[in-house]
Amino acid sequence: STRTPRMRGSSPVGRALPGLLLVTGATAFPLSPTGATVLQTFPQLFGPKAAFASKGSPVSGSSGLSRIITSHTCRAGTHRHQSLPRLLLRGGASGLRMYDRDTQGDTEAGLAREERKMEHSNQVRQKLEAIASGEKGLGKVRQHVNPLKSQFQIPTEAPNWSEVFGDPSLPMHLDIGCGKGRFILELAAINSDTNHFGVEIREPLVVRANKWAQESGLANCHFSFANMNASIRTILKGYAGRISLVTILMPDPWFKARHHKRRVVNPEFIEALAEEVPSGARLIVGSDVKDVYDDIVYVLGNSTAWAEVPGGSDEWPLERQTERQISVQSRGEALYHSVYTR
């Protein structure tokens, strides 16, 4: 913009020309081409050592400053607009310091926040390595994980099927939300003619379950860490065999109405799942929460890709049950399940 900065109260306000700053002392002010008007109007703000600089150029007279960073749109003379890097310059015993919003964070607090994130990531990695090696137990794991967090929105790629399964041409049983994994570990032990693939959003459980599978010598069982709502179109790519069975059992209920959007079964997911499995594949869904079960049945009932198997809810159709099912039954509480075909 080439317009003259407007005056709002005692602050000069106007659009800055990208790449142009007024640098003085420990403050950087973006200026329009007519920024001299601001200088002339408020000389007490800047002082005699004010200097003009363009993006990337050194600023004479400013010890410790190597370059200037500006935003494309900002309020001249203020640091309130989010597109203006805050505290571009900070004074200290070692002279002026520069903060690049794009690469380092715009304040010392931002830098410290990035360091904490990196430290946390290293701690998580070390914990997972210790679980995999058997040096450490599982420890405390969150019972519910919010699948809508940004960290879970990156699709997980399919594993190398020939590395994780002894025979990747066998039919597959896909268990979505496999938890601790004991359910499909037991099924894999008694069904050697099927590959069992468990997907879970809590990574420590996945690492431990894979350790159990390796210790048991099961070449037909593998677990992957993923958010299936974000990964349904990627995680099954390249599988040579036929996906014959999908189970979604005891999913996180997310009771509060505002949290229902976190539930794994929704119309978009069910349609995406139908595109990834062949015709004739079975889908078994179950829950011990009537509201969750009814919601799943409603979604599937409104899908043209899935048909309910008559009488599928009478008897449990598999040789094993999940730990949650066993626990609920031991307390004499109700369980609900249905069977569908693609």
pLDDT digits (tens, 9 = 90+) for 14-44: 333 343 444 444 444 444 444 444 444 444 4
Is 205 inside any structural domain? Answer: yes
Of 170, 157, 172, 320, nearest to 246 by C-alpha is 172
Please report, rounded to a whole number, the percentage of residues in the chain having pLDDT higher than 90.
Answer: 56
Tally of structural domains, the chain? 1
Asked, for residue 16, whether it belongs to a domain, the answer is no
What contacts 158, CB < 8 A, 6 or more positions away?
234, 235, 236, 237, 238, 239
For residue 113, pLDDT over 80 is answered with no
Check residue 139 and give its pLDDT. Answer: 63
Q: Give domain status of residue 138, yes or no.
A: no
Q: Report yes or no on 115 lying in a domain.
A: no
Separation CA 13–CA 309 (nearest Å): 68
Identify the domain containing residue 225 by its residue range. 154-341
**pLDDT tens track for 217-275:** 999 999 999 999 999 999 999 999 999 999 999 999 999 999 999 999 999 999 999 99
The CA distance from 129 to 106, in Å, is 34
Q: Are 170 and 241 in contact (CB under 8 A)?
A: yes
Q: Write out pLDDT tens, residues 69-92.
A: 333 333 333 333 333 333 333 333
Candidate from 47-51, 108-112, 203-207 with smallest mean pLDDT: 47-51
For position 252, what pLDDT does the model report? 93
Nearby residues of 57 by Cβ (< 8 Å), 6 or more positions away: 67, 68
Rg for the chain (alpha carbons), in Å?
Answer: 29
Q: What are phi and psi of 234, to 5 degrees?
A: -120, -35
Which pLDDT does position 18 carry in this prediction?
Answer: 40
User: Does residue 335 sit within a domain?
Assistant: yes
Average pLDDT, whole number, for the chain? 75
* Structural domain includes residue 175: yes
Q: Model pTM?
A: 0.64
In this predicted structure, what is the pLDDT of residue 138? 61
Q: Looking at residues 178-200, what average pLDDT do you find?
A: 96
More confidently predicted of 325 and 4: 325
The domain that holds 302 is classified in CATH as: 3.40.50.150
| Least confidently predicted of 20-24, 133-137, 151-155, 247-251 | 20-24
Within a domain: residue 265?
yes
Encode pLDDT of 281-336 as tens digits: 999 999 999 999 999 999 999 999 999 999 999 999 999 999 999 999 999 999 99
Q: Which pLDDT score is estimated for 119? A: 72
Q: Is residue 45 part of a domain?
A: no
Q: Which residues are catalytic?
A: 252
